[in-house]
Structure 1
Amino acid sequence: MTDTIEALVDHACLIVHGPDQRGMVAEVAALITRNKGNIISLDQHSSDPEGGDFFQRVVFHRPNLLAAHPEIEADLDRTLQPFGMKWRMVDMSTRKRMAVLASKSDHCLLDLLWRHRRGELPVSIPMVISNHTSVAEDVRAFGVPFFHVPSQEGPDKSESEAAILKLLAGNVDFVVLARYMQVISNDFLEKVGVPVINIHHSFLPAFIGAAPYRKAKDRGVKLIGATAHYVTEELDEGPIIEQDVVRVTHGETAQDLQRRGADVERAVLSRAVLWHAQDRVIRQHNHTIVFA
């Protein structure tokens, strides 16, 4: 028996953020009530009650939501714009489309595919793209289309990135780099038009480059971990979604560290994907509010 995450028919997720001010919670609740909605869950955060920023995530049920959607959106505009609030409302019956980019290292990729097959991730996966063919058969065994786009030698990756962008265009809602060992260019980020999530070991930048676990072992590290974040023009410095660590000892080999690091990477990335797919993450500049 598996614990699956079902698509929620007639459920909407409303995200509201803007300048904090008195009465916002009541305004949102009243809006949902007069549109015949019933609040299922509500999370909120204020960075400062005096002059800070307000963030709210509300899940509500409304019979015949699809038909009522335009009317609710119009009411949101009328109600929230005078307060300077931004908002977005998501129909929770529609799963986000997630493309995965991978290289030879397959632990994060296969974990996402396995969780998706078990119904633990509320996404669809229209494609996996890799610059190597070594994972092709494993991906196809999950019934997911696989595309091979070789990486170009040298710093200019424009041709391979153009091929990837052509595959992604109009087909995905976000992209996950599951240990995709290529640097993503600023041009790619501008053109892809959807959020990109990356996972890396938390040794960066202290152990940047090849063989990070060997370098970590040589330095005698006591903690290893992983970080999932949104990709921005600043390499590996985008808004952080999730992190975790495990304690290690001097008795563990570099291979032990790598194995345990892979476990952490899988867990951290799957949580980040889940929270993004459920609209639990609100980006604010280079910061995130995560209603997990």
Structure 2
Amino acid sequence: MAHPEYILTLSCLDQRGIVHRVSGFLADHGCNIIDSAQFGDAQSKLFFMRVHFSSEDASVSDAALRADFGVLGDALQMNWQLHDAGKKPRVMLMVSKIGHCLNDLLFRYKSGLLPVEIPAIVSNHTDFYQLAASYNIPFHHLPLATGAPMEVKRAQEQRIMEIVEANQIDLVVLARYMQILSPEMCEALRGRAINIHHSFLPSFKGAKPYYQAHDRGVKLIGATAHFVTGDLDEGPIIEQGVERVDHSMGPDTLTAIGRDIECVVLARAVKWFTEHRILLNGHKTVIFN
């Protein structure tokens, strides 16, 4: 019979003996470490660790494992989480009228490349309800007109949060959802909402960024996946990708290349989140690949 597996993630003030105490705890509780990674940040003075292990002593219950580790966590003032490695995280996808990231994530999910459950897709438009139906995923159309008053926006976001709670969502993915979330919603989803957007050198904002980039003759285009915060497009970065371009490429070609990069970068970020590889380090992230 297979033993239950867990993923432990933690961060705390860096000090001697953390790895020894964590590995000793696991050994004393009948656990076998499958893989482990750690990092000490000299700047923030914090220590980060991810341990994938199996629990091989049937007399040690899940509740006992968590309660006993809580004692160690308190002693070292840890921020820690213990995840059931066999449980697929529940992901909600949000999209507007551009569907390449949505389509890519759904294909990866259906083909088993992305080990998640997707119980809901939310959109402020109806463009992708048939795509959602083809995957047998409930589609929630929550319209929000451009320039809608704040009370209408708050009501729409409240409905979104009701869907999050009702479906026990672990991660919200803004797969080209073209609405700015309110500070209140950003705070409610802190650490569990990921956004994808283009990132150019230099950066171009507003309508048709790939056309702006073409007009300026850029040589690199790319994309950034980051956690959602109240500071627009400035949350902790999870993953980035770039591609070289040249003068022979028109704006439509740049758009196509950029969308491919967005799909890959977002998929990596979502996969790393669902595998509990991302730890927050202030305004930055630690990624255990």
State whether TM-score is above 0.5: yes
Deviations 1:176-202 (A, max 9, x none): 000001111112223457611000000
Q: How does 1:124-203 map to 2 (within 5 A)?
A: 124-154=117-147, 156=150, 157-171=153-167, 172-192=169-189, 195-203=192-200
Residue 100 of structure 2: which of 104, 107, 116 is its match?
107
> 1:84 deviation in Å?
2.3
Deviations 1:129-153 (A, max 9, x none): 1111111101110121111111133
Aligned to 2:70: 77
- Give the % identical residues: 41
Aligned to 1:91: 84
Matched, 1:206 2:203: yes
One-letter identity of the residue aligned with 1:175: V
> 1:248 deviation in Å?
0.4
SS of residue matched to 2:248: coil
Residue 243 of structure 1: which of 197, 216, 240 is its match?
240
Detail structure 1 runs of 4+ shifted over 4 Å in the superposition: 64-67
Deviations 1:21-74 (A, max 9, x none): 1111111111111111100000100012x9821000000011377962121122
One-letter identity of the residue aligned with 2:6: A
> 1:206 deviation in Å?
2.6
Aligned to 2:35: 41
Residue 52 of structure 2: which of 51, 56, 59 is its match?
59
Residue 16 of structure 2: which of 17, 22, 29 is its match?
22
CA–CA distance in structure 2, aligned partners of residues 260 and 180 of structure 1: 19
Aligned to 1:122: 115
Runs (5+) with no aligned partner, structure 1: 1-7
Matched, 1:10 2:22: no
With normalisation by structure 2, the TM-score equals 0.93
* 1:98–1:28 Cα change, 3 Å: same
SS of residue matched to 2:30: coil
One-letter identity of the residue aligned with 1:131: N
Matched, 1:32 2:29: no
Number of residue pairs matched by the alignment: 284
CA–CA distance in structure 1, aligned partners of residues 137 and 246 of structure 2: 39
Runs (5+) with no aligned partner, structure 2: none
* 1:254–1:84 Cα change, 3 Å: same
* 1:17–1:233 Cα change, 3 Å: same
* 1:126–1:78 Cα change, 3 Å: same
Q: Is the 8 A contact 1:9 1:93 kept in 2?
A: no
> 1:121 deviation in Å?
1.0
SS of residue matched to 1:232: coil
CA RMSD of aligned residues (A): 2.0
Aligned to 1:3: none
Residue 216 of structure 2: which of 176, 195, 219 is its match?
219
Q: How does 1:274-289 map to 2 (within 5 A)?
A: 274-289=271-286
Q: Is the 8 A contact 2:191 2:228 kept in 1?
A: no
With normalisation by structure 1, the TM-score equals 0.92
Deviations 1:234-292 (A, max 9, x none): 00000000001000011000000000000000000000000000100001221100002
SS of residue matched to 1:169: helix
> 1:77 deviation in Å?
2.1
One-letter identity of the residue aligned with 2:37: D
